[in-house]
Chains A and B, each alone.
Chain A
Amino acid sequence: MAAEAHSPLEQFEIIKLIPIQIGPIDASFTNASLFMVIAVAAVTAFLTLSVNTRSLVPGRWQSMAEISYQFIANLVRDSTGTEGRQYFPFIFTLFMFILFANVLGMIPYSFTVTSHIIVTLALALVVFIGVTVIGFVKHGLKFLGLFVPSGVPIFVLPLLVPIEIISYFVRPVSLSVRLFLNMMVGHTMLKVFAGFVVMLGIWGVAPLAFIAVFTGFEIFVAVLQAYIFTVLSCLYLADALHPHH
């Protein structure tokens, strides 16, 4: 009846669906690639098909598309002001992709794209490097004034500036690791408790009830972590556009 013991980390394995080799680079189409394509297709379908009716008083689907647009537009405008408006497409894409990728991973037997550090690190590095380049292009070397908060006595500066520099470079690490660990630990906990359900026999209803509640919590965490990633990206962008504290 029971198969061999499965590790809770087995769900994160990358399976090559279509092996593609370009010289020394392994560019196979994996299950991660498949779910990224599904996420992008879902976002595109949701946004384009919902506004097809183009009615002035929106129905339900159009309302949802407009609400998601408005939500991020307000967020970008409140954090970055008017100069940040040109970065709204990037922030919106970031939010919708991470949201759909996280929530698609909650479907049983699917694969969570953001539960791999390389995916979240790529997203966080794009944000970090982009924001740094924007800061230098916009303000030149005065962008380094970001590390020197105003109103600080001179003798504290040799201690404060290295701390500020280190906390600036920790940003991509914390941004990526937060999303990655939330997704990975959430799914691993679900699998661990699923193992308990089988182990306990009839008393397995207790872990089962916990899994039911925890799955609801995980869906909330999936949405919240997408929002947190986006909010922090907007904050870093605002820091780059206005580096005076």
Chain B
Amino acid sequence: MELEAAKMLGAGLATMGVAGAGVGIGVLFGNYVGSGIRNPAGAKTQTGNLFVGMALSEATAIFALGIAMLILFG
């Protein structure tokens, strides 16, 4: 197989790791919204934690995307 084709395939496969972040962020926001409906006053105290969790979960997706970029362009 040519190197260019292998690079494209590798980058495509590496991007599948981004799915995990979608699940993680969805769980996080779902819990926030669900418990926010039950306790609206308490929800405001947790918005900081929400964004911290979102960034940490997104970081894992960015790790996968970074490997894909490195495979494709490195």
Contact = CB atoms under 8 A, between A and B. Distances in A.
A8 B73 contact: yes
B63 interface: yes
A185 B62 contact: yes
Interface in A180-207: 181-182, 184-185, 188
B59 interface: yes
Interface residues of B, number: 14
A103 to B, nearest CB: 16
**What interface size band does chain A fall in?**
10 to 19
Nearest to A180: B66
Contact of B59 (A9, A178, A188): A178
A181 B63 contact: yes
Contact of B73 (A7, A178, A228): A7
B16 interface: no
A184 B52 contact: no
Interface string B16-58: 0000000000000000000000000000000000011011101
Given A177-B63, A181-B63, A182-B62, A188 B55 contact: no
A120 interface: no
Nearest to B63: A181
A221 B51 CA distance: 10
A185 B66 contact: yes
Interface in B59-73: 59, 62-63, 65-66, 69, 73
A188 B63 contact: no
